[in-house]
Structure 1
Amino acid sequence: MTNEQVGEDAVDRLTRTAVIDAALQVLEERGLEKLSTRAVADRLGVRMNTVLWHVKTKARMLELMADAVLAGIRYDDLPAAPRERVRELAGRYRQALLACRDGAALVTGTYPAEPHTLRFADRLVDALLRAGADEKQAAWTAWTVSYFTLGLAQEEQAAPAQGDDGLARAVTADTYPALQRTVAYLRQGSFEERFAFGLDAILSRVPE
C-alpha cells in the first residue's frame, strides 16, 4: 500500500467528531496556548493534513471546539419564571465554560453558527422575550450576559493562586485615591458572588 493510500484510509476512518474530541483532549492536557492542528494529529496518530481535511483551518477547529464546549449545557428543570430562567441559563453557561480547561478563552472570539451555540442563544433570547423585553433589548441583553459571563469566567480560569497579589502595596491614597478607598472590596468576594452581582446589574434593566 502506498503512502497516499494510507493517507486516504486515515481520512476515511476518521470523523470530524473524533478530531474535535481529540482537540479537546489536547486542550485539557496542554492548554490553549499549546493547542495546534499538529498536536491534534499527533494525538490521533495521523498526518496534519488529515486533520485539516476535516476542519480546514485551525480557526474553524476552534469554532467547532467552542460549540462542543456548550454541548455540556442542560436544558431540563429550568425555572418557569423568565428572569430566573435567564439566571439559570447564564449559570449553566458559566459552568460549561469552567468545566473545560481554558474554556472561556477558547469560546471568546469565536462565532460558530453551530447547533449547541445556537440552541443556547435561542433559549436565552426566548427567556428574555418572555420576560417582556422587546426584540432589540432581548438580543442586546443576551450579548451582554454572554460577554460578561465569558469575561468573568476567563478571569477566573486565569486567576493566580490565593495570596498577596500586590494590589494593596501598589494602591495608596497618594497614587490612586479612588481605588484606595475601595481596595478592600476589589479583593473581596468569590467569583460566584461577583457573577451574581453582575448578573443582577444586567437584569435590572429587563422588565419584571
Structure 2
Amino acid sequence: MERDVAVLVVDDDESSREFEREALAMAGYQVRTAASGGEALAMLSGGAFDAVLLDVRMPGMDGLELLESYRGSGGRVPMIVLSAMAGSDDIVKAMRLGATDYLTKPVDPSDLLASMARAFGRQPALAPAAAPPRRQEVDEPPEERTFIAHSAAMLRVKRLVERIADTDVPVLLLGESGVGKEVIAREIHTRSRRHAKPFLKINCAALPSELLESELF
C-alpha cells in the first residue's frame, strides 16, 4: 500500500471482531476496533479513518443507526456492512443509507479484502476464471417492459421491486411454476443500474449437480 490505510471494525461479537481485525491487519491495513455503535461513532468523530467495516445487528445503537447518523453528519468514508442474512431488509436499508458494499457473515477473508479494494478503487486479485455456464440464454434488454398490477397483493410486489431494484443485493424469488418469477426478475433487471446489460437466464436443472458450483461460481 502507498500509505497506511486506517480501518475501523465495528462488531459486538468479540470472536468475529478479532477475526475481521486479523484478516485486515495481515493484508497491511491499520485496524482499530469498536464493540458498539456508540463507541464507533465517538471514534469516528475524534479520529481519522479511511474505511469502516460495520456489523448491522448490534445491541444499543445498531449498525443502521450508526450509518444513518454518520452519513447525516456529512461523513463520506466508505462503509462496508456485515449481515448474517444475505438479501435481508437490513442490507436494502443499509445500501439506501449510503453503505458502500455489504458482506454476509461469517466473512470470507478473500471477499473482505476484495470489498476493501473496491472501496478504494483498486482492482482486487482475480481468481482463475471459471468456465462459462452451459445451457444459458442471453436476452438483450428490451426497450420497454411494463409490469401491470391491479390487485393489492401484486401492488405490494411492485412496490417491493421498486425498493430493491436500485440496490446491489442478491434477490431470491420463490413460488410455484407459472406464478411469474421470471417476470419479476426481468422487472428488477429493467429498473436496476444493470438495465443496459444482458439479462442472463441459466437453467440450473440442466446442469449436473457435481458441476453446478464450478460452472456458476
TM-score under structure 1 normalisation?
A: 0.27
Greater percentage in helix: 1
Greater percentage in strand: 2
TM-score under structure 2 normalisation?
A: 0.27
Which structure has the larger Rg over C-alpha atoms?
Answer: 1
